[in-house]
Amino acid sequence: MHRRAFVALLVVGAARAGGAAAQPATGSHRVGILAPTEAPRASDPHSATGSIPTYLEELGYVAGRNLVLEPRYAAGRLSELPAMARELVRLRVDVIVSIGSSATRAAKAATSVVPIVMLGNFDPIALGLVKSLGKPEANVTGVLIAPAGTLAGKKLELLKEAVPHATRIAFLTHEDPGLRTQERETQAAADALGVTLALTRLRGDDYGGAFAGMMAGRPDALFVAASTYFMRDRKRIIELAARHRVPAMYEWPEQVAEGGLMSYGSDLGRTTRRVAEYVDRILKGARPGDLPVEQPTELQLVINLKTARALGLSVPRSLIARADHVIE
Kindly report the pTM of this predicted structure.
0.81
pLDDT of residue 43: 55
Domain positions in the chain are: 15-147+267-290, 152-265+300-327
Q: Which CATH superfamily is domain 15-147+267-290 in?
A: Response regulator (3.40.50.2300)
Q: What is the pLDDT of residue 304?
A: 98
Distance in angstroms (rounded) separating the CA atoms of residues 183 and 174: 10
> From the first residue on, what is the mean pLDDT of each consecutive set of 10 residues in the chain (328 residues)?
42 40 63 91 68 92 94 92 98 97 96 96 89 93 84 93 97 88 93 96 92 96 92 93 97 92 91 95 96 92 97 96 95
pLDDT of residue 42: 66
Q: Which CATH superfamily is domain 152-265+300-327 in?
A: Response regulator (3.40.50.2300)
**Among 60, 87, 55, 47, CA closest to 71:** 87
pLDDT at residue 287 in the model: 96
- Strands (E) in the chain, as ranges, are 29-35, 67-73, 95-99, 116-120, 140-144, 168-174, 196-202, 221-224, 248-250, 262-265, 300-304, 325-327
Cβ(67)–Cβ(31) under 8 Å? yes
User: 15-147+267-290 and 152-265+300-327: same fold?
Assistant: yes
3-state secondary structure of 160: helix
Facing residues of 83 across strands?
none
